[in-house]
Amino acid sequence: MPKIGIMQNNMPELPEVETVKNTILPLIKDKTIKKVTVFCNRLIQSDLETFKKEIINKKILNVQRYGKYLFFDLSDDYILIIHLRMEGKFSYNKNPSNARISSTTLIFNLDDNSALSFNDTRKFGLMYLTTKKEIHSLPMMQKLGIEANKVEISDYPSLIKKLKRRKPIKELLLDQSILCGIGNIYADETLYRSKINPLTKGNELKDEQFIEIFKNAKIVLEKAIKLGGSTVHSFSSNGIDGKFQNELLCYGKVNEKCPNCGTRFHKIFLNGRGTTYCPNCQIDYSIKKAIGITGPIGSGKSTILKYLEKKNYLTYSCDELIHSLYLEVYIKNKISKILGFNFDVNNDQNRKEAKELMNNNPLIKEKIENFIYPILEEKLTKIIKENENVAIEVPLLFKAHFEFLFKKIIVIEISNDKQKENLKLRNEKNIDSSLKLNSDYSYLKRDDVYVIFNDSSLEELYSKINQILA
């Protein structure tokens, strides 16, 4: 019993519906509907009695698709409009006695003694019988925009005008009256490839960014069509699984690492729809407003933080924030479980043992970082959102991938001799093992990064800071 459709929590989008069309067409083309049985009346959106009467003895001439809709072209100029919605799917059975299951909402018996069933667990699907003459006057058809995989350069001006609205771009891409066929999966993939945050308002985007969206949407959709759509849970089409899920770069990968920058993917909910994005590749400029300070131990981070505090900046140290987090019972218990012993951040011996264990066991260190970084990020985001003129000392800013939080990042570099001198002044033990200069210079490629070599007087250091702040 071949199944043709979608079984997933996301509404099938253009590529999945195209796959259903391609699969179902050879099974039912040129066959005549001899009987129809409706088990769920609300499936039929046109007049029910007219539907039952007029569809009998109609030959299925073709199956077409527009956006997320399927269209059965029938004889006598009739058209059956179908929307699968969340979980609608077709089953084709050569033996009609096997056609009905618990979720079946309709069965077409065909003239070759086969049966086509429509199964819909949640009963959200719809069918509407109309004619070729009337179809274009139907409100549901009039509201459909241009198909996202068929946008041409000549369509750009009108589409950009429709998308320049005070709504999040992700929400606008899901509006079928503007671009037809894009749903949750392909909106996330398109915005990720276009490096645009899903919360960015349409009227905040430049024309070039819209053009990137159009181009990437077409690329993503065409590739998905070629691969049979995306299997998110159990998409199945006549035994053929959608292969595009293997090509997904962003969607459904919350907490996995972004292939572009290594930042963990975030997930938010926008109008109830799960939305996955990379905060560093898809920057939310509304929160990118603080100053971040980073560099190796003993390089002068605290000195700069104190200077900014005198200039009326609200200042925070991530070392102090993490210390306070480790005092919380839930976090303390989780860290203790990862380490394998009862951890007390106020116990010097405990801290020493934890540091040695993490240095000798990178996997344990990674587990702790993967646990604490998201919690710290949430705390930093809240601080930055709620305040202006914030400066934060973040020793592991780049390793934790917190770049997206800061409008300016001050990186302090220092010579070994000067670093040793500073560490001696603060009575640091094991100075040689504490020496750690920046070895990853990838940050130099960023426009928001300012590198300071702290090798002279405080006055010169403050002068460099003032130039950055100007």
pTM for the model: 0.85
* Dist. CA 410–CA 449, nearest whole Å: 6
User: Which residues neighbour 422 within 8 Å (Cβ) at sequence distance 6 or greater?
Assistant: 298, 299, 300, 414
Which CATH architecture best describes the domain 3-142? Alpha-Beta Barrel (3.20)
The tokens describing 290, both together, are 């603080």
pLDDT of residue 439: 46
The tokens describing 352, both together, are 């020493």
φ/ψ of 294, rounded to 5, equals -145, 165
Give catalytic status of residue 378 as yes or no: no
Which CATH architecture best describes the domain 290-469? 3-Layer(aba) Sandwich (3.40)
- Using CA atoms in the order 270, 272, 277, 279, what is the torsion angle rounded to 10 degrees? 50
pLDDT of residue 236: 39
On whether the 146-277 domain is CATH 1.10.30.50, my answer is no
pLDDT of residue 242: 63
The catalytic residue among 21, 85, 123, 273 is: 273
Give catalytic status of residue 12 as yes or no: yes
The catalytic residue among 68, 100, 170, 464 is: 68
- Closest C-alpha among 296, 316, 275 to residue 172: 275
- Residue 137 identity (one-letter amino acid): S
pLDDT of residue 297: 85
pLDDT tens-place values along the chain, 470 residues long? 455 443 344 678 899 999 999 999 999 999 999 999 999 999 999 999 999 999 999 999 999 999 999 999 999 999 999 999 988 999 999 988 888 999 999 999 999 999 999 999 999 999 999 999 999 999 999 999 999 999 999 999 999 999 999 999 999 999 999 999 999 999 999 999 999 999 999 999 999 999 999 999 999 999 999 887 775 433 334 444 567 778 899 999 999 999 998 999 999 998 888 999 999 999 999 899 999 999 988 888 999 999 999 999 999 999 999 999 999 999 999 999 999 999 999 999 999 999 899 989 999 999 999 999 999 999 999 999 999 999 999 999 998 999 999 999 999 988 877 777 777 776 665 545 454 544 455 566 678 899 999 888 899 999 999 999 98
Give catalytic status of residue 13 as yes or no: yes
* Dist. CA 66–CA 17, nearest whole Å: 9
Domain boundaries, the chain: 3-142, 146-277, 290-469
Give catalytic status of residue 353 as yes or no: no
